[in-house]
């Protein structure tokens, strides 16, 4: 029997994938996923874009590996963060390409803890060694970051500076500048993953870390949370020198991303109504965040602590008394799904504290409270 | 400066990618690519499929990693070659997933020479060692195959048994059976890449090698040559056991393939008119093959030998007197593009003979003859 490669065997499993069938049971209230609210997809714009497809026979031929020229031009005009851009099959693929392209087995990658599980899986697949920097409410602990950078050669620093998954945290301007300086000093490339950046409910939008970096940086962009995820259109911006080798890996991976999807995405995000759609969407998610915050304050204040995120899709709750896996398993029996915080630590690192991640975008306010009531019951029942 | 990983540095460059800008010059007659004829895309069916998209809001949410259920069911009903199927972003991705999933650095992969360049790049990226089996007109040399299998542990045997790219060759039934038996005997998994299988101009369709294999096999399917390539929808069929770990890598790579593309592809290939479209397409390509064969016989018989392929997109020409790279470079100056045969050998193996690959699907019969006349001039001018 053919055995999976070492790189696959040592790759972290996805908790959500493993409980997917349970989550899909009728009556389940899931705070576990990271799904946008399907009722808020810009359907009228997508419909118009789909109908326009029919008039464009040229998009059915093989395309350029780097993506549709008109989409790439729009991206570079819209957000001039770097010299060049490659369109990818979601920003997930962009990160995978970077890892395959720049990491040799044993190379060290730095991330915050907790960190996005999909990124940890990618670093595992690249057989990299994932190290962590301590995370504070306004960004990484700069002293700790310098200590790590000074003590060992790091190839890439990966982070989500805006409304991170799972912590919901955003980096302050001063932290962004400090990190950019340190990375330049130690010649470490930055990978900025920004899928939630435009889901800001309040406060001022801050410059990307990529803009502030004097050294090398990749900016990963996504439309999954603000338009629709199923088109699988994302991008990576960086210098031409950095993107050149990526194209070679992209070509071997899938030749290029689907052209009709790139065209539909461009029609949608460049539509005059898209700005209004985005305003309405953030207002909608803000209401849901408020509903979850209120429910947590009302029913769970005794059992957990949390910070209120200024945007994004998640509230990260530190458990005062409980073990996260035990809570998650017991909650499933009450038909409430959450993700244990341990999932967001690299496999070989010690989990610093017990936590659960709660998503607030895919349930209605009433359901959010119902789910929190279910969690409260579970926490009361479990003796600590 | 960030340096590309060892796996990327050692991956073969694509000749076609490197001369792409030259090929795109006006007046260039390109026999170099592998493009289907865009004027034969099933546009009416694609248009109808695009309009239907507009009515299906559910396809805009995140989807299952293994693909759209209705497409997977259709594929398994349409062609029951194995227990399960994963939809991939083109069959190129399917092969890349298999390599990442099952090959450790240094593992040995067997292929025919010449072989599909995109596969060689994938094996390079996986840091596998690519070995070759001697190829005959009706399939691999079975004695040579047994010799290789008996002498060294091989993880996968990769081949294109129908109208191979670049050789145009197809395996006979007896060769298919013999290979299947040998692979079972030596417990080597088979990877059957079949993008040209349905482009048969004459002769009888033969069973897939996957069907004949008692042991482990992956069947890679594509719609790029019979419908449209730009949707990037392909698939891999195999046992559930073999596909399980692939799903994990697919999830880390791009979460899932674009759902609207899967839906459009399904609408197109399950359309009642699709069978007629395919008949017309093969008749159309058959005429082009005949035109290229006639032109080669008329103008180049003195300089090269070739076999007439029963289908597919390529004629493979062995050069009697010339060096392929020299011919290809001189032809470019005459505004004719071809691919030197050397490109289709694994980087570390000796090229057995000089050859060029000619594509006949993307030029009209008159242009095909014009290109051949250009080639004849070049060959006459170069002293040998």
Query: What pLDDT digit, counting tens, does each position of B286-336 carry?
Result: 999 999 999 999 999 999 999 999 999 999 999 999 999 999 999 999 999
Does B222 lie in the same domain as B100?
A: yes
Q: How far is A375 from chain B (nearest CA, A)?
A: 26
Does B118 lie in the same domain as B62?
A: yes
Mean pLDDT of B246-250: 95
Is the pLDDT assigned to residue B20 strictly greater than 90? no
Nearest by CB to B230, from A47, A62, A241: name it.
A62
**Model pTM?**
0.97
Range of the domain at B72: 43-269
What pLDDT shows up at residue A24? Answer: 81
What pLDDT shows up at residue A260? Answer: 97
State whether B51 and A51 contact (CB < 8 Å).
Answer: yes
- Boundary-marking domain end, from B231, B252, B269: B269
Does B306 lie in the same domain as B176?
A: no
User: What proportion of chain B, given as a percentage, has pLDDT over 90?
Assistant: 90
Of the candidates A217, A238, A235, which has an alpha carbon nearest to the alpha carbon of residue A227?
A: A235
CATH number of the domain within which A287 lies: 3.90.1150.10
Residue B215: pLDDT band with limits 50, 70, 90: confident
Domain assignment present for B253: yes
Does B342 lie in the same domain as B321?
A: yes
Mean pLDDT of chain A: 95
Does A194 lie in the same domain as A176?
A: yes
Domain assignment present for A112: yes
Does A57 lie in the same domain as A15?
A: no
* Residues B346/B132, Cβ–Cβ less than 8 Å: yes
State whether B5 and A100 contact (CB < 8 Å).
Answer: yes
Buried b (16+ CB within 10 A) or exposed e, A206-240: bebbbbbbebbbbbbbbbbbbbbbbbbbbbbbbee
What pLDDT shows up at residue B80? Answer: 87
Query: Quick one: B17 exposed, middle or buried, by C-beta within 10 A (0-12, 13-18, 19+)?
Result: middle
Is the pLDDT assigned to residue B214 strictly greater than 90? no
* Residues A201/A15, Cβ–Cβ less than 8 Å: no
H helix and E strand count, chain B: 15, 15
* For A12, nearest residue in chain B (alpha carbons): B248
A35, A101, A120, A258: which to substitute to probe chain B, counting the most B Cβ within 10 Å?
A: A258
Mean pLDDT of B208-235: 96
What pLDDT shows up at residue B198? Answer: 97
pLDDT, tens digit, for every residue of B192-202? 999 999 999 99
Could you tell me the two tokens for B276? 């007629």
Question: With contacts defined as CB-CB under 8 Å, which chain B residues touch A253?
Answer: 92-93, 96, 253
State whether A230 and B60 contact (CB < 8 Å).
Answer: yes
pLDDT, tens digit, for every residue of B47-77? 999 888 877 888 999 999 999 999 999 999 9
The residue among B260 and A51 whose pLDDT is bigger is B260
DSSP tag of B314: E
Q: How far is A226 from chain B (nearest CA, A)?
A: 12
pLDDT, tens digit, for every residue of A260-319? 999 999 999 999 999 999 999 999 999 999 999 999 999 999 999 999 999 999 999 999
Q: How far is A303 from chain B (nearest CA, A)?
A: 32
Does A58 lie in the same domain as A16?
A: no
Does B261 lie in the same domain as B280?
A: no
Residue A384: pLDDT band with limits 50, 70, 90: low
Domain assignment present for A1: no
Does A373 lie in the same domain as A241?
A: no
Question: With contacts defined as CB-CB under 8 Å, which chain A residues touch B243?
Answer: none
Nearest by CB to A101, from B5, B90, B102: name it.
B5
Does A356 lie in the same domain as A281?
A: yes
State whether B249 and A125 contact (CB < 8 Å).
Answer: yes
What pLDDT shows up at residue B234? Answer: 98
Cα(B116)–Cα(A343) distance, integer angstroms: 40
Q: How far is A65 from chain B (nearest CA, A)?
A: 10
Domain assignment present for B1: no
* For A260, nearest residue in chain B (alpha carbons): B231
What pLDDT shows up at residue B384? Answer: 65
Q: How many domains does chain B have?
A: 2
State whether A51 and B46 contact (CB < 8 Å).
Answer: no
Is the pLDDT assigned to residue B133 strictly greater than 80? yes
pLDDT, tens digit, for every residue of A64-73? 999 999 999 9
Of the candidates A254, A255, A218, A211, which has an alpha carbon nearest to the alpha carbon of residue A237?
A: A218
Mean pLDDT of B169-190: 97
Mean pLDDT of chain B: 95
Cα(B17)–Cα(B91) distance, integer angstroms: 19
Cα(B36)–Cα(A84) distance, integer angstroms: 29
CATH number of the domain within which B92 lies: 3.40.640.10
Cα(B173)–Cα(B162) distance, integer angstroms: 11
Question: With contacts defined as CB-CB under 8 Å, which chain B residues touch A54?
Answer: 46-47, 50-51
User: What proportion of chain A, given as a percentage, has pLDDT over 70?
Assistant: 100
Residue B1: pLDDT band with limits 50, 70, 90: confident
State whether B101 and A4 contact (CB < 8 Å).
Answer: yes
First-last CA distance in chain B: 46
- Boundary-marking domain end, from A269, A284, A302: A269
What pLDDT shows up at residue A383? Answer: 73
Cα(A2)–Cα(B342) distance, integer angstroms: 31
- In what order do the strands lie in the sheet containing A355-359? A304-306, A314-319, A355-359, A339-340
Domain assignment present for B16: yes
Does A51 lie in the same domain as A11?
A: no
Displacement of CA B348 from its chain's centroid (Å): 21
What pLDDT shows up at residue B13? Answer: 77
> Other CB atoms closer than 10 Å to residue A301's CB: what's the count?
12
pLDDT, tens digit, for every residue of B113-127? 999 999 999 999 999
Of the candidates A52, A39, A42, A43, which has an alpha carbon nearest to the alpha carbon of residue A264?
A: A52
Does A136 lie in the same domain as A246?
A: yes
- Boundary-marking domain end, from B236, B254, B269: B269
What pLDDT shows up at residue B15? Answer: 82
What pLDDT shows up at residue A215? Answer: 85
């Amino acid at each position: 029997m053919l055995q999976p490669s070492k790189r696959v065997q040592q790759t972290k499993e996805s908790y959500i994938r493993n409980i997917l069938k349970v989550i899909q049971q009728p009556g389940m209230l899931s705070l576990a996923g990271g799904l946008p609210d399907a009722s808020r997809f810009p359907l009228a714009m997508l419909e118009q874009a789909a109908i326009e497809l029919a008039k464009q026979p040229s998009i059915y031929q093989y395309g350029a590996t780097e993506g549709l020229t008109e989409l790439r031009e729009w991206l570079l005009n819209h957000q001039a963060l770097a010299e060049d851009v490659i369109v990818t099959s979601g920003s997930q693929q962009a990160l995978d390409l970077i890892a395959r392209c720049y990491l040799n087995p044993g190379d060290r990658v730095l991330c915050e803890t907790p960190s996005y599980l999909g990124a940890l899986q990618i670093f595992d697949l690249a057989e990299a060694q994932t190290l962590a920097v301590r995370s504070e409410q306004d960004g990484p602990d700069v002293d700790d970051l310098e200590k790590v950078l000074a003590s060992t050669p790091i190839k890439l620093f990966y982070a989500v500076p805006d409304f991170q998954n799972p912590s919901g945290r955003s980096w302050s301007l001063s932290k962004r500048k400090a990190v950019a300086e340190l990375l330049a000093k130690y010649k470490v490339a930055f990978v900025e993953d920004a899928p939630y950046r435009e889901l800001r409910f309040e406060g001022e939008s801050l410059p990307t870390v990529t803009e502030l970096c004097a050294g090398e940086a990749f900016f990963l962009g996504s439309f999954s949370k603000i338009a629709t995820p199923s088109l699988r259109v994302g991008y990576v911006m960086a210098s031409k020198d950095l993107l050149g080798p990526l194209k070679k890996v992209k070509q071997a991976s899938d030749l290029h991303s689907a052209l009709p999807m790139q065209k539909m995405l461009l029609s949608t995000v460049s539509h005059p109504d898209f700005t209004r759609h985005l305003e309405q969407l953030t207002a909608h998610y803000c209401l849901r965040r408020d509903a979850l915050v209120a429910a947590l304050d009302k029913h769970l204040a005794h059992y957990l602590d949390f910070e209120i995120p200024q945007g994004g899709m998640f509230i990260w709750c530190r458990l005062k008394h409980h073990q996260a896996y035990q809570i998650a398993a017991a909650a499933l029996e009450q038909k409430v799904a959450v993700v244990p915080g341990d999932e967001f630590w690299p496999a070989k690192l010690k989990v610093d504290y017990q936590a659960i991640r709660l998503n607030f975008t895919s349930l209605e306010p009433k359901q959010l409270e119902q789910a929190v009531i279910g969690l409260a019951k579970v926490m009361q029942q479990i003796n600590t």
